[in-house]
Each structure stands twice: as structure tokens, then as C-alpha cells.
Amino acid sequence: MNGAGGLSSFHAIVDFLNVHPLFAVGAMLLLGYMLGRAVERVGLPEITGFIGAGLLMSRHVSGIVSREAAIELLIIAEVALGLICFTIGAEFYLPKLRRVGRQVGWITGSQIGLSFAAVTLVMLLLGITLPFALLLGAVAGSTSPAATVMIVHSLRARGSYVDYLFGTVALGDAAAIVLFSILLAFLPAATAAGAGVSAAALVLSTLGNLLLSLLLGVCAGMGIHLIVRRQEISGEVLIVTLGFAFLGTAVATGLRLSPLLLNIAAGATVANASARNARVFRALEPLPPPIYALFFVIAGTRLDPSMFAQPLLLLLGGSFVIARWFGKYFGTRAAARLKQIEQPIGRYLGISLFPQAGVALGLVLLLHLLSEGAAVELQHATSTAVSIVLFAVLVNEIVGPPLSRLAMVKGNRMEV
């Protein structure tokens, strides 16, 4: 009896921990850390280990993280994406934009535009509906800033090639987020055919939501600026910044606005309100590593290994990857030739844009969040889109960084 009672108590404890969010968070951080270190030793990015940890802990493999706990932890994805967008907003610092120059803008616009067009067209040809084909096209424009920075630091690379690369990645991610936000705002209009509401009314409502998102973001940024401008303690600056970022994200989500645009606008406002506000972004630096680690592990829990045995998904994911690479490479080459930019930039920069992770994962996880409780057809389309991007991220994080590193070595060597 005692043995049976002890076994029953053990199972009760296991069942309790299986659904407890704090247990999941602790396990995610530790396993993510260990696998991240392990994959680094074989030359893969740490992010690959985080995603792998999430896959191992998912209900599809070990079941350490239950479906209920995984859903509760999606709030961390919202937090991480909000901070990513807030930080990206700093890239709209006007003096920095003027310093980067028009050539980076031409490269960014060309490679984003061609990637968007190529992926959207290929997805449509493979049977993805227009709204989701457009959203996938927008996701294709993003590049992994973390992988880019890591490669540059490991090579100790400098020069115009690196300047063009950093500028293109920052502006490209910002453009991808803005484009995705606009298209996502129009998604209800695109799926509301036959609902008896005029297209003009839906478009005007959507534009109003986007403008309101930007206005609230500017207000949040000014609020941060006015409160922290006389603060010298970094801890207090961090408290105020996180408070506004969390409130803004929650308000935007609750009002069906765009939390992405709101946080970008807030970050841009803070950056341009005063040069001293650079300390706001410095105060955020110690915080993101555990949040980002959890973000990638949570993304891994959304992976279903069985999808890699599905020929259709392999076709969709592989086509997404190839179409995106096509857009990045030839879009960069076209802009470089048109604006007569140095040969190494045109030849190799597009390859350095292949890695893809954080921003892309954040965008599709946000799409997943917004689809909760929606119609079955919409949830199925969303699940397909999420699976395509998760597959592409795995490929791009395994193949992309080595190719990017090789391109950077060759580009810098030719430049010298």
C-alpha cells in the first residue's frame, strides 16, 4: 500500500510539474543552455540548440512541456517580439539614417521587394491562399541580426562590406515588420468576403488601426523620454521602459491594433527625442538573453517532427527557402549594379542575408496567437504558414550562417 501510495504521489507531482509554467521555464532555460553550448562546438549557431531543446521538450517528443504550459508561455513570445521591435525602432534614428546613405536603402528595397514577390508568387502557385502567401512573402524579407552580429564579431570584420551588411539587415528587418503588420491588419478584410461589409469600410478601418498604432507608439515613446530624461540610475530607466513596452503591447493586442508597429514607433521616438536616450537601449541589453533563449525554445515546442515526413510541407518549406534566397541574392545584385556599388557588395552581400531566425519566428508566433479561437479554416491555414516558416528557419539557421561567413570572408578579401 505504501509503495502504491508513493507511486501515486510521484505521478501526481509529475503531472503537476508537467503543467506548471515555472517548471517549464526552468527546464527550457537549462536544456536550451546545454544544447546551445553543444551545437556551438560543432560550428552551428546557439539558436539552433535552443530550437532543438524546444523540439525535444514538446508534447510531440518527450512531453516535458504540456500543451497547456506551452500556451501559457506564449506570452513570453509577445514580450520578446515587443522588445525586438522596440530595439529595431532605434534604427530609425534620423542622423544614423542619413549616415547610412541612399545606397543601403536601394539595396534594402530591392532585396526585400524581390524576396516578397518571389515567395508570394511561389506560395500562390503551390496552393497557399492569397492573404497567407502575402504574409509569408513579408516574413521572407527578414534576416537574423543575431547570426549576423555573431559572424562579424567572430571574424573581427570591418570595412564598407560590414557597414552595408549591418545597415541592410537593420532596415530590412524593420521593413519586413512594417510590411507584415500592414498585411496582418488587412487579413480580416481579406477573409471577410461575403460578410456584408464593404471593402472600402474595411480598408478605412484597417488604415485607421495602423495610424492609431503608430500614434500610441509615439505617445509611449514620449512617455518614456519625459520620465527617464532626468533619471541617471539604469535600473529605473529599465523599469519605466519595460512598463511602457508591456502596456503598449497589451493595449495594442486588446484593441486589435499592431503591437509591432506600436513598439517600432515607440523605439524610434525614444531614439530621436534625445541623444541621451541611447542609455535606454543600453539598459535593455542585460535583459534579453534569457527572454530570447526562451523565445527560441518556445518556438521549438511548436515544431512537430512528423511534418518533415509530409511531402507537401517539405515542398512548401523548401520552395520558400529557395525563393527567398533567390530574392535576397538577385535583389542585392540588381541594386548594386544599378547604383554602381562596389563589386564585392553586389556579389556577396545577398548571400550574407540568408540566415533567418528571431524576427521571422516572432512574426509567425504572433500570427499563431491572433488565430486562437478563430474559424477552423483560418487556424489550419495559420498552422500551415507557421510550419513553413519553422522549417525554413531550421534550414536557414543550419545552412545560412556558414554561407554567410564564407561570403563575408570573400567580400572583405576582395575589398582589401
CATH code for position 177: 1.20.1530
Provide, for the chain, the percentages of residues in helix, strand and coil under a 3-state DSSP scheme, each rounded to the nearest 5.
85, 0, 15
Query: Same domain, yes or no, for 245 and 373?
Result: yes
Residue 196 has pLDDT above 50, yes or no: no
More confident residue, 166 or 374: 166
Of the listed ranges 68-77, 111-120, 381-390, the one predicted with least confidence:
68-77
Query: Same domain, yes or no, for 49 and 121?
Result: no
Residue 138 has pLDDT above 50, yes or no: yes
Residue 323 has pLDDT above 90, yes or no: yes
Model-level pTM? Answer: 0.71
The half-sphere exposure of 216 on its side-chain side, counting CA atoms within 13 A, is 25
Highest mean pLDDT among 81-85, 229-233, 313-317, 324-328: 324-328
- With CA atoms as reference, report the closest residue to 86 among 345, 264, 248, 224: 264
* Residues contacting residue 155 through CB under 8 Å, at least 6 positions apart: 405, 408, 409, 412
Query: Same domain, yes or no, for 288 and 397?
Result: yes
Query: Same domain, yes or no, for 138 and 148?
Result: yes
Query: Same domain, yes or no, for 343 and 406?
Result: yes
pLDDT band at 180 (very low <50, low <70, confident <90, very high): confident
Alpha-carbon dihedral angle through residues 351, 405, 168, 212, given to the nearest 10 degrees: 100
Domain boundary pick from 48, 71, 94: 71
Domain of residue 30 covers: 1-71
Instruction: Calculate mean pLDDT across residues 10-19.
Output: 52
pLDDT band at 328 (very low <50, low <70, confident <90, very high): very high
Query: Same domain, yes or no, for 94 and 58?
Result: no
The half-sphere exposure of 261 on its side-chain side, counting CA atoms within 13 A, is 23
Query: Same domain, yes or no, for 247 and 261?
Result: yes
pLDDT band at 20 (very low <50, low <70, confident <90, very high): low
Rounded-to-integer distance, Cα 389 and Cα 135, Å: 11
Highest mean pLDDT among 86-100, 131-145, 280-294: 131-145
Query: Same domain, yes or no, for 347 and 403?
Result: yes
Query: Same domain, yes or no, for 301 and 206?
Result: yes
Residue 171 has pLDDT above 50, yes or no: yes
Which pLDDT does position 230 carry in this prediction? Answer: 76
HEC letters along 314-374: HHHHHHHHHHHHHHHHHHHHHHHHHCCCCHHHHHHCCHHHCCCCHHHHHHHHHHHHHHCCC
Instruction: Calculate mean pLDDT across residues 14-23.
Output: 63
pLDDT band at 330 (very low <50, low <70, confident <90, very high): very high
Query: Same domain, yes or no, for 64 and 83?
Result: no
Which pLDDT does position 314 carry in this prediction? Answer: 87
The half-sphere exposure of 369 on its side-chain side, counting CA atoms within 13 A, is 26
- With CA atoms as reference, report the closest residue to 27 among 58, 61, 67: 58
* Residues contacting residue 401 through CB under 8 Å, at least 6 positions apart: 44, 45, 147, 150, 151, 355
Instruction: Calculate mean pLDDT across residues 36-53.
Output: 78
Side chain identity, residue 61: V
Domain count, the chain: 2
Side chain identity, residue 38: A
Domain boundary pick from 71, 92, 112: 71
Query: Same domain, yes or no, for 55 and 186?
Result: no
Q: Which three cell numbers stand for residue 354?
A: 540568408
Domain boundary pick from 15, 36, 71: 71
Query: Same domain, yes or no, for 62 and 81?
Result: no
From start to end of 112-238, where are the E strands? none
Residue 53 has pLDDT above 60, yes or no: yes
Side chain identity, residue 259: P
- With CA atoms as reference, report the closest residue to 51 among 3, 116, 110, 61: 61
Instruction: Calculate mean pLDDT across residues 118-134.
Output: 90
